[in-house]
Structure 1
């Protein structure tokens, strides 16, 4: 067999083999893509913003401290409570007890999502370092600019956010 003929025969056998591999890859992707898509959606759409690695709500900050200390304070592992599918941490037993008795008052509104973005019709996780208390409720913001805009006219943003929240909430995992 000449070198030219060997090259031709070798390339034919590789070509014949490739459609089989391509078929396997296509079939595997048909199965894998929906699984990955579901996993990504499940981990990013929850009713309360939770760190997907630690399970902590608002990154482990004490939600009651915003009211009592007027600043964000990290909670302690010894003082935890479970509420709304999330683990909440507190600085002391008194803050924990207050939260357990009234999670709707002390927990961040809109599940910790930025109210400016909720007013726009999207859910974007708030950052516990960008916060405001308005109407005796805690709001977390994704950006400092959003917090400043909210502080200028909270009634307007809350009116829009409250009207859009029920529909957005239905799209979040329970």
Structure 2
């Protein structure tokens, strides 16, 4: 019985995530769990955003640590938004599926921000970033269309 519940829950999660272009979790509308995506580029680390620096982009709420970061994002959101809508980059590439991502598991590659599910998944991602980027870039448009 437990196994069937796990299977049903997994199917429900995947179907709940299926149509979203930006990962926000199930009970939130916060992109990147409320972390400031500009901070990855300017400070080299994940920084929590503040509610007074909120901006809605692609149907999700993005939070920033400062007005300066908010302004930078508004000028060029595609530069600062994570690839694959903030879903786990490894899952998009290796599994052709969507999975949540932890903002603390990140990497900037060729000026683009990628997030991963957890430390273990990120270690897999780090083994072949160029190959996974090629696969992810191929898979992502199809996942968006589903």
Q: Fold-level match, TM-score > 0.5?
A: yes
- 2:137 is aligned with 1:162: yes
Shift of 1:70: 0.7
CA distance in 2, matches of 1:148, 1:98: 30
Larger Rg: 1
Deviations 1:49-105 (A, max 9, x none): 013323111110000011111111000011010000000000000100111111111
- 2:110 is aligned with 1:135: yes
CA distance in 1, matches of 2:48, 2:59: 20
Give 3-state SS (helix, strand or coil) of 1:51's partner. Answer: coil
Matched residue count? 133
The unaligned stretches of length 5 or more in structure 1 are 1-36
- The aligned residue for residue 5 of structure 2 is none
Q: 1:44 to 1:164 in 2, by over 3 A?
A: closer
**Structure with the largest fraction of helix:** 1
Give 3-state SS (helix, strand or coil) of 1:64's partner. Answer: helix
Structure number with greater CO (CA < 8 Å, separation at least 6) is 2
> Which aligned runs of 4 or more in structure 1 are off by greater than 4 angstroms?
none
Out of 36, 44, 49, the position equivalent to 1:62 is 36
TM-score by length of 1: 0.71
- The aligned residue for residue 44 of structure 1 is 17
- The aligned residue for residue 152 of structure 1 is 127
- The aligned residue for residue 126 of structure 1 is 101
TM-score by length of 2: 0.84
Shift of 1:142: 0.6
Give 3-state SS (helix, strand or coil) of 2:68's partner. Answer: helix
